[in-house]
Amino acid sequence: MNTLEVDINCDLGEGFGPYTIGDDDAMLDIVSSANVACGFHAGDPVIMDNVVRQAGLRGVDIGAHVGFDDRAGFGRRVIPLSHHEIETAVLYQLGALHAIATAAGHRVTHMSFHGALGNQSFVDPDLARVLVQATRAFDPALSILVIPETELERATERAGMRTVRTFLADRAYDATGRLVSRRIAHALIENVDEIAARITQMITEGTVRSIEGDLLKMSHECILVHGDTPRAVEIARTVRTTVERLGARVAPISKKDGQPRIPAK
């Protein structure tokens, strides 16, 4: 029987010039894949290069973490763009990371849409299609990180591209499988024991309990951890330890192509 394989993924490279967010190198010791900010909502060429090289040394997958061109708002504000503006902005960021990775002897394996752009892609089918088609026009072999049951997942599947369904270990889900807004109490799970318990349930039973108490099916493909919170490194270590204690193997998406997938639903 195959060993279960789980990707642990994190947004990294979110500093800028003199500014730092999170500890990229420490997180790269724990995760198996990283989404690299591409200089629009965060990141800059030097920081991108560092994350790419450190990831390469550790066998960590890298993806383009693409967002709105809005450093002041950290990509969390919706900037009203035409589809053509979004399409070209996606290609621009993806290509920038691709070149830095190529020069470093590494390669981009996936895409991840940040902040307000990501949130829109979950509910707006036209935008989701634009994001997927722009990615596909550059490289149809790229995977796309998705929240299950969203327009982005549907658009990715429709385009015949590979989805990576992410599970957020430290965020509450509602009964429909959506993330509970951070403004709601208990949306953020900060207790490491509770996080470990959720991961255990997700891996052994393929489920997670919603904030209302319902049981939801959940894929174990990819656990997303945060790199920008004060206890990020500690939580990420808990996640990894928990996964490994359950007998699963932490491996980047690109290394587990042959593995049978558990449907999200």
Interacting residue ranges for a copy of itself, rule: CB under 8 A: 15-21, 39, 42, 44-46, 48-49, 69-74, 77-81, 84-85, 87-89, 91-100, 102-103, 134, 137-139
Q: How far is the CB of 113 from a copy of itself (least distance, A)?
A: 16
CB of 18 to a copy of itself, least distance (A): 4
> What is the DSSP code string of 34-97?
EEEE-SSSS--HHHHHHHHHHHHHHT-EEEEEE--S-TTTTT-S-----HHHHHHHHHHHHHHH
State the nearest-atom distance from the C-beta of 146 to a copy of itself, in Å.
Answer: 21
For residue 227, the minimal CB distance to a copy of itself (Å) is: 13
First to last CA, the chain: 23
Q: Enter the tokens of residue 52.
A: 């790419």
State the Cα–Cα distance between residues 246 and 15, nearest whole angstrom.
Answer: 34
Please calculate the CA angle 13-16-20 and round it to the nearest 5 degrees: 70
**Minimal distance in Å, beta carbon 122 to a copy of itself?**
18
**Measuring CA to CA, how many Å separate 182 from each of 27, 156, 193, 206?**
23, 26, 20, 24
Identify which of residues 108 and 172 has a Cβ nearer to a copy of itself in the complex. Answer: 108
Sign for the CA dihedral angle at 80, 84, 87, 93 comes to: negative
Nearest to 9 by CA among 135, 133, 144: 144
**Amino acid identity of 91?**
L
Whose Cβ is closer to a copy of itself: residue 61's or residue 70's?
A: 70
Minimum Å gap between C-beta 194 and a copy of itself is 27
Q: Which residue's CB is nearer to a copy of itself, number 53 or number 58? A: 53
- Give the residue with the Cβ less far from a copy of itself, 42 or 60: 42
Angular region, 69: left φ>0, alpha ψ -120 to 50, beta rest: beta
Q: Which is nearer to a copy of itself, 43 or 252 (CB)?
A: 43
Our CB check for a copy of itself shows the closer of 103 and 184 to be 103
